[in-house]
Amino acid sequence: MLNVDSLRLLLTMALAVAVLVEGARHLSGPFAQWFGSQVGGLLRRHEHAGLTGATWLIASMLAALVFLPPAPAIIALWAAAVGDGSASVVGRWMSHVRGRNGGGKTMAGTLTCLVVTAIGAAWLGDARVSVALAIGAITAAAEWPRGPLDDNVRVTMVAGLAAWVLGVA
């Protein structure tokens, strides 16, 4: 299994950088303008005034590594980074193929999240197929709603808690 202590250290450093960037973009007009010119097109509407999804992602991944046992934490990281990320890519692609410009969730994205998260749970967490599919389904359901938490937080925490409750050790 991956070295969890190294991941904690790496994510702690990444979160420190993210917090500094968030502070700078909210306190400095020139930095905010530069930041917006560099990555503004990648941000969702609510991220322009609040925290970016990247900051939420780093914070939730670190929380998973701090509060969950190693195997559920690693599954949570996989679900957030690869499962949710794959869902976004596939969902956007399907929306483009169908000629929709909306940024909403798609069934194709949800199914992708389920399958990719299940693969990670089986591979990295050594979960039985039925347990891996359950983790994938629970995670995909958590990815769907809008608010109240950023979906990066919901996906990470729900995937990790599902793995823990379902006995992945």
In the numeric block, which tokens belong to residue 143? 């990815």
pLDDT of residue 102: 58
pLDDT of residue 99: 66
Q: What is the pLDDT of residues 48-97, one digit of tens each?
A: 777 888 899 999 999 999 999 999 999 999 999 999 999 988 988 887 77
Q: What is the pLDDT of residues 115-156, one digit of tens each?
A: 999 999 999 999 999 999 999 999 999 987 777 778 889 999
